[in-house]
Structure 1
């Protein structure tokens, strides 16, 4: 057998085997600069490829079967590789999404914390102001109550003094009226005694004149 490498290229159409041969006296030449494909293997040397004679149907079927198995294996490997890449991409996307969510959640928590602190400070300040105002109102109420009690006490004292004054005035008036009544009685008694004495003197004078 010739030491040069050989290969066969077959195209399958409608179940018939057709052998494709190249030009230039059924010889295909490949160099190291050729582009590899599924049907054009790359040779490391510049030797010519010679098309071997046609094989029988069984060899062709075996070769087709082997090539189909290889194609299936390549497809499986390609699908598996794409699946791995897709899983890696999905994991990365989920990781990035989770990272962004955590960042946004942290920012939201910080904003909520700042809002709570500010709201609490405002509530505490308002409560202190309210407590101070209530103390002022309480002090004012105490002052007003004290002033009212003082005024009430003063009024009661004034009223008591007025009552005592009226009572004393009434007593003095009663004494005056009683004195006037007694004076009238004394006056009548004195006048009666004077009138009686005057009558006695007149009677005495008349007797004296008559006797004289």
Structure 2
């Protein structure tokens, strides 16, 4: 039942009640002016019945309006709820997609970081091994150089001693040769002097 219908019904009931009220008042006036007392009770009963009918009509109209308003409100609330659910589902879907993309990128970055860590660790181990090898090689070279220096010093000392011995021996040989040469020269001189003496004696004796 619509609001206009309820208003029309209520106006009709009011008009009827007013007409009936006027009739009742006329009847009441006539009843009062007449000696019959039963007319007053009849008029009151009729007025009571009209009031009850008007109250029932108003109650039915109010119930109809309330039911219609509740139904409309329920429809609006349900529509609003569906709209809210749709919006929530849409925003959840959007953010879920973004979160999923970001988490995938995060996993990719973590995997890349792990790969880089492995490469860096492998490179570090390789460099450490090279450093150890270079250090061992340098230690070996230093050891070899020290051995060479020691050997050189020892060889130089031995060579110097050998040269001194050779020089001493050569000097001794030279001295012996000089002494022998002096002896030979002296003997040759003595022989020449003896020969001169003999020649001189021989010349004198002849």
| 1:64 shift after superposition | 2.3
What's the C-alpha RMSD, in Å, of the aligned pairs?
Answer: 2.7
Instruction: Classify 1:183/1:56 alpha carbon distance in 2 versus 1 (closer, same or farther; 3 Å).
Output: closer
User: Matched residues in 2 for 1:148 and 1:55: separation?
Assistant: 126
Instruction: Classify 1:205/1:55 alpha carbon distance in 2 versus 1 (closer, same or farther; 3 Å).
Output: closer
TM-score (norm 1): 0.66
**1:91 pairs with 52, 62, 67, which one?**
67
Instruction: Classify 1:172/1:54 alpha carbon distance in 2 versus 1 (closer, same or farther; 3 Å).
Output: closer
User: Matched residues in 2 for 1:206 and 1:136: separation?
Assistant: 101
Query: 1:153: which partner in 2?
Result: 129
**2:108 pairs with 132, 143, 147, which one?**
132
Unpaired segments ≥5 residues, structure 1 = 1-36, 41-52
Per-residue CA deviations over 1:96-134 (Å, capped at 9, x if unaligned) read 202210121121012112211221121111100111111
Query: 1:123: which partner in 2?
Result: 99
**1:78 pairs with 54, 58, 64, which one?**
54
Unpaired segments ≥5 residues, structure 2 = 1-18, 24-29, 191-206
Query: 1:163: which partner in 2?
Result: 139
Query: 2:174: which partner in 1?
Result: 198
Instruction: Classify 1:183/1:80 alpha carbon distance in 2 versus 1 (closer, same or farther; 3 Å).
Output: same
Aligned residues: 163
RCO greater where, 1 or 2, for CA within 8 Å and sep 6 or more? 2
User: Matched residues in 1 for 2:42 and 2:31: separation?
Assistant: 18
Please tell me whether residue 66 in structure 1 is matched to residue 42 in structure 2: yes
Per-residue CA deviations over 1:137-189 (Å, capped at 9, x if unaligned) read 22122222322322332233233223222321221122112101110011111
Instruction: Classify 1:68/1:133 alpha carbon distance in 2 versus 1 (closer, same or farther; 3 Å).
Output: same
TM-score (norm 2): 0.68
Query: 2:158: which partner in 1?
Result: 182
| 1:205 shift after superposition | 4.6
